[in-house]
Chains A and B, each alone.
Chain A
Amino acid sequence: MVKFGIEFRPHEAYWKTIYYAIQAEKRGFNNLWITDHYNNRNVYVTLTAAALYTKKIVFGPGVTNPYLINPVVTAQSIASLNELAPGRVVLGIGAGDKTTLDSIGLEMEKPLTAVVETIEIFRRMLEGKSVTFEGEVFKTKGTKFNFKTKEKIPVYVGAQGPKMLETAGKIGDGVLINASHPKDVDYAVDCIKKGVSETGKKLTDVDVTAYTSFSVHESPEKATEAAVPVVAFITAGSPNVVLERHGIDLKKADKIRGALKTGDFGQAFGSVSKEMIEAFSVCGTPDMCIEQTNRLLKAGISQFVVGSPIGTNVRKSIDLISEKIIPHFKK
């Protein structure tokens, strides 16, 4: 059965994010994902609060990266969280965002290797062993926790490009993809399948998780209004190959990029087209969202993550999703 996750960017006070986390648990969401950006509240502080105020929901960073946080510290943080909430913790790890890493002077060296090595160190540390590791990016010498770790913790790999997707299928317990449209899921699933087949696993052994830009409202116009700013940023950040996959005019995308760079949000948001909304968001009334979610499920996802903006009013949107969308898939 499909799992429903929800993603929060902890840019608001911790008590707001945790209020929504508690609400999501009460309303039947299975997973909680907290993004990791240095300019927002710290991901592990937020997850610690989530652990203390929830009882069932599974949670983790979605996603952290090996450059900002050393793999050993990631392993320590996740293992410590798992003491607070045994069996409810997962790790989401990806290569990170180049622009953000550039801004703090970190070089995104060998991203694929860095992620693979991080997962290797993470798993070995969690086994409670002394880890000596000679990687291309990371090295450890007899690294070991002074505390006992309890169980295997699932690793979800945040992936976009073909090689990372294939690797994620090969070594991940789950894969996190940014996708709100079946075309993007189709592409990702094809790559994941290649990795999965190399290890003798089945696709169903991997939790294929789609991070969607989601906006629900009883009025489709209001749902779209909330989605527009997020879609503008996604369009601006998408490589041409992705834009072309969705038949989006590259010049229009350039116009949005230029406007965002100069801070002309009116121009940027005003340039968002219907095609962009369709390509980069799950958006509309509950029935419209059910239809779009169904298309993503058919394309091969097993976890549907409701991501920013969620709706014009986050609290009311969570209730709406819980009352009108989730039950449709849990029959």
Chain B
Amino acid sequence: MAYQKIVKAIPAKKRESLSDKLVDFLLKSKKEDKMPSDLANTILSQWQRGSLTTEAGLAALLEAAVLLEPEKTMEFLEQEPQLADVAKALKK
């Protein structure tokens, strides 16, 4: 639920590039075992439906990225214009 709220702050024009970056983090991650299977299944369903750039899709990706690659994810969000607020919300 918290992630659903956080992703509302993501500007529409940033959604596609953020989704792409988060997917990249997840697929390259060596910490596969940290991915809960229900979250993985949600991401796969969203991907199949072409919904990874929707709020629900981004919320799932963000939650997974924070679990698997917290440092990379935070670093990216902090450096990316218009996404710093998302990083702050995640830190809270």
Whole-angstrom CA separation of A299 from B27 in the bound complex:
36
Whole-angstrom CA separation of A262 from B83 in the bound complex:
49
Q: A314-B27, A315-B24 are in contact. Are A13 and B44 (CB under 8 A)?
A: no
Whole-angstrom CA separation of A313 from B27 in the bound complex:
9
Among residues of A, the one whose C-beta sits closest to the C-beta of B31 is A13
* A3-23 contacts to B (CB < 8 Å): 12-16, 18-19, 22-23
Shortest C-beta distance, A183 to chain B (Å), equals 35
* A277-323 contacts to B (CB < 8 Å): 313-315
B48 near A54 with CB under 8 A, answer yes
Q: A22-B48, A53-B45, A53-B48 are in contact. Are A16 and B23 (CB under 8 A)?
A: no
Whole-angstrom CA separation of A16 from B43 in the bound complex:
11
Among residues of B, the one whose C-beta sits closest to the C-beta of A14 is B40
Q: A315-B23, A315-B24 are in contact. Are A19 and B35 (CB under 8 A)?
A: no
Shortest C-beta distance, A21 to chain B (Å), equals 9
A19 near B27 with CB under 8 A, answer yes
Tell me if B's interface is mostly helix, strand, loop or mixed: helix
Whole-angstrom CA separation of A100 from B40 in the bound complex:
31
B71 close to chain A: CB less than 8 A: no
B44 near A15 with CB under 8 A, answer yes
A23 surroundings in chain B (CB, below 8 A): 47
Interface membership of chain B positions 71-89, coded 1 if the CB is closer than 8 angstroms to chain A and 0 otherwise = 0000000000000000000
B23 near A15 with CB under 8 A, answer no
B32 near A22 with CB under 8 A, answer no
Tell me if A's interface is mostly helix, strand, loop or mixed: helix
Total A residues in contact with B, Cβ cutoff 8 Å: 15
B23 near A22 with CB under 8 A, answer no
Q: A314-B27, A315-B24, A315-B27 are in contact. Are A18 and B32 (CB under 8 A)?
A: no
A15 near B35 with CB under 8 A, answer yes
A15 near B43 with CB under 8 A, answer yes
B27 surroundings in chain A (CB, below 8 A): 16, 19, 314-315
Whole-angstrom CA separation of A225 from B36 in the bound complex:
33
Whole-angstrom CA separation of A105 from B33 in the bound complex:
31
Shortest C-beta distance, A6 to chain B (Å), equals 15
Shortest C-beta distance, A8 to chain B (Å), equals 13
Shortest C-beta distance, A314 to chain B (Å), equals 7
Extra A-B contacts (18), CB below 8 Å, given A22-B48, A53-B44, A315-B24: A13-B32, A13-B40, A15-B32, A15-B37, A15-B40, A15-B41, A19-B23, A19-B27, A19-B43, A19-B44, A19-B47, A22-B44, A23-B47, A53-B45, A54-B48, A313-B28, A315-B23, A315-B27
A-B CB proximity, top 5 nearest: A15-B40, A13-B32, A53-B48, A53-B44, A22-B48
Q: Which residues of B contact A (CB under 8 A)?
A: 23-24, 27-28, 32-33, 35, 37, 40-41, 43-45, 47-48, 50
10 inter-chain pairs at a CB distance below 8 angstroms, sorted by A residue, are A12-B32, A13-B33, A13-B35, A13-B40, A15-B32, A15-B44, A18-B44, A19-B44, A23-B47, A314-B27
